[in-house]
Amino acid sequence: MVEGKSRIVLALGGNALQANPKDTSAEAQIKTAAETAKSIVDLIEAGHEVIVAHGNGPQVGQIVGTYEAAHQVNNGMPIMPFPECGAMSQGYIGYHLQQAIRQELVNRKIQKSVATIVTQVLVDENDPAFSNPTKPVGSFFSEEEAKKLQAEKGYTMKEDAGRGWRRVVASPIPVDVVEAPIVSTLVEAGHVVITVGGGGVPVINKNGALEGIPAVIDKDFASGKIAEILDADFLFILTAVEKVAINFNTPEQKELREVSIPDLEKYIEEGHFAPGSMLPKVKAAMKFVQSKPGRRALITSLDKAKEGIMGQTGTVVVE
d(CA 147, CA 306): 50
Catalytic residue among 61, 198, 199, 281: 281
CB of 48 within 8 A of CB of 4?
Answer: no
283 is catalytic: no
d(CA 54, CA 14): 8
14 is catalytic: yes
Residues 269-289: what's their mean pLDDT? 93
Residues 8-20: what's their mean pLDDT? 85
d(CA 137, CA 83): 12
Q: Report residue 226's pLDDT band, with 50, 70 and 90 as the boundaries.
A: very high
Does the pTM surpass 0.75? The reply is yes
Q: Report residue 170's pLDDT band, with 50, 70 and 90 as the boundaries.
A: very high
Compute CA distances 101 → 47, 98, 201, 240, whole Å. Answer: 15, 5, 23, 20
Catalytic residue among 14, 138, 224, 314: 14
15 is catalytic: yes
Compute CA distances 226 → 44, 77, 180, 287, 292, whole Å. Answer: 19, 37, 7, 12, 14
Integer-rounded Cα radius of gyration of the chain:
20
Catalytic residue among 15, 197, 198, 200: 15
Give the torsion through C-alpha atoms of 243, 247, 252, 253, to 10 deg: 10
Nearest to 119 by CA among 73, 168, 143, 83: 83
Q: How many CB atoms are closer than 10 A to CB 133?
A: 20
Amino acid letter, 252: E
Backbone angles phi and psi of 242, in degrees to 5: -75, -35
Return the pLDDT at 22: 76
pLDDT at 2 over 60: no
d(CA 84, CA 157): 20
Compute CA distances 317 → 259, 261, 275, 293, whole Å. Answer: 5, 7, 18, 12
pLDDT at 4 over 80: no
Sign of the torsion formed by the C-alpha atoms of 213, 218, 224 and 226: positive
Return the pLDDT at 266: 97
Question: Nearest 5 degrees, angle CA 116-CA 119-CA 124?
Answer: 165
Q: Average the pLDDT over each of 27-31, 108-112, 136-140 and give the range with the smallest value.
A: 136-140
CB of 316 within 8 A of CB of 1?
Answer: yes
Catalytic residue among 56, 219, 225, 304: 219
Return the pLDDT at 154: 84
Return the pLDDT at 223: 97
Return the pLDDT at 166: 86
Catalytic residue among 13, 61, 135, 287: 135
219 is catalytic: yes
Residues 169-182: what's their mean pLDDT? 96
d(CA 315, CA 301): 10
